[in-house]
Amino acid sequence: MSHSQWSQKIVQLLRRMNNFYSPGSCRASCFRFEINGAQVGWIPPQLTPLLSRFPDVFSPPQGGAVSLRPSLDSSGRRTEAVDAVLRTLRQEGTFSCLKGWRDEKYSVMSQFSEAPLMLMERSATSLFGVKRSGVHINGYTVSDGGEVSMWLARRSPTKQTYPGLLDHVQVVWLLGLTSNKLWSKNVRRKHVSQQPLQRRLVLLVHYTYEDEDGVYPENQFVFDLELPVGFKPKVGDGEVQEFYLLPMEKVKELMATDDFKPNCAMVVLDFLIRHSFIDPDTETCYQEFGAGLHQTLE
């Protein structure tokens, strides 16, 4: 693949992962999802008419927004009421995303680190365009000669999402925890090294895309983690088939293929930019790369 072909592949990826901003997206037809006057999501047009069946839970659309009834005045009451609606829709088979029901709750909040306004089943978050946050860790090594390599993971073929694709050595979704608490949890659950390792939160990657299941506004908290040259992760949680330590040029090549999980490719792109593997003097798409990694909804 030539350099120009690689660049165009990456541009296409970024546009796909930000297609909610594109002309012709469902954004103009979406209603804001609000709780206590604060926007917490986007309700796509295929869901809005169905909410009128649940008048004790959802107020009628007004001013471009759909809200929960004021009587649902606590996180617990909101969680219980909306969960009952979602279970009804799941039984009816109305939405394909609910077939992947996980019994895993996401925090719904207008700003990260605020107290959750409610919790929502993970598989349903796209139906309400709820912002999701995750942690991606760039686990990399630097040889004595200065060559940088990155650890990648091959996802299990039984994963509900993106089975069998290349992923970071560690990706964890946030369930309302702070990044510091989450980091401690990650280390206890996944890390096999006994050495104290220095990680660094470097930035957020933002994007919003839509598909047939709804709207996905996502924030990724990105950590850089330099690992010892002899470090070897172990497969042990059923979510990963295998790990690979690859030179950055090979990683760069793979991220422009269909073998790479899309949002992981975005995080690696940011790593390449920050570590000067992509040169603004020679990369004609440099500015478009930067814009595609940091688009936020107003």
Q: In this predicted structure, what is the pLDDT of residue 171?
A: 53
CATH topology of domain 3-21+132-293: Nucleoside Triphosphate Pyrophosphohydrolase (3.90.79)
Worst-scoring range by mean pLDDT, 26-30, 58-62, 171-175, 285-289?
171-175
Residue 190: is its pLDDT beyond 60? no
Residues of the chain with CATH 3.90.79.10: 3-21+132-293
Provide the pairing of β-strand 148-155 with 199-211.
Answer: unpaired
Worst-scoring range by mean pLDDT, 57-66, 199-208, 211-220?
199-208
Residue 134: is its pLDDT beyond 90? no
**Nearest C-alpha neighbor of 38 from the set 107, 131, 117:** 117
Residues of the chain with CATH 3.30.750.160: 26-128
**Quick one: tokens of 43?**
């309700």
Provide the pairing of β-strand 199-211 with 214-226.
Answer: antiparallel
Residue 183: is its pLDDT beyond 80? no
Q: What number does CATH give the domain 26-128?
A: 3.30.750.160
pLDDT category at 297 given cuts 50, 70, 90 is: low
**Nearest C-alpha neighbor of 254 from the set 170, 147, 154:** 154
CA atoms within 13 A on the CB side of 75: 13
Q: In this predicted structure, what is the pLDDT of residue 225?
A: 87
pTM for the model: 0.86
Give the pLDDT confidence of 154-172 residue by residue, as tens digits: 999 988 888 999 998 865 4
How far is 95 from 171, CA to CA, in rounded Å?
27
How far is 205 from 136, CA to CA, in rounded Å?
10
Give the pLDDT confidence of 36-77 residue by residue, as tens digits: 999 999 999 989 999 999 999 999 999 999 999 999 999 999
pLDDT category at 200 given cuts 50, 70, 90 is: low
Q: In this predicted structure, what is the pLDDT of residue 60?
A: 92
Residue 186: is its pLDDT beyond 50? no
Q: In this predicted structure, what is the pLDDT of residue 199?
A: 61
The residue among 224 and 177 whose pLDDT is bigger is 224
Rounded mean pLDDT of 92-100? 91
Q: What is the rounded average pLDDT for all residues in the chain?
A: 87
Residue 195: is its pLDDT beyond 50? no
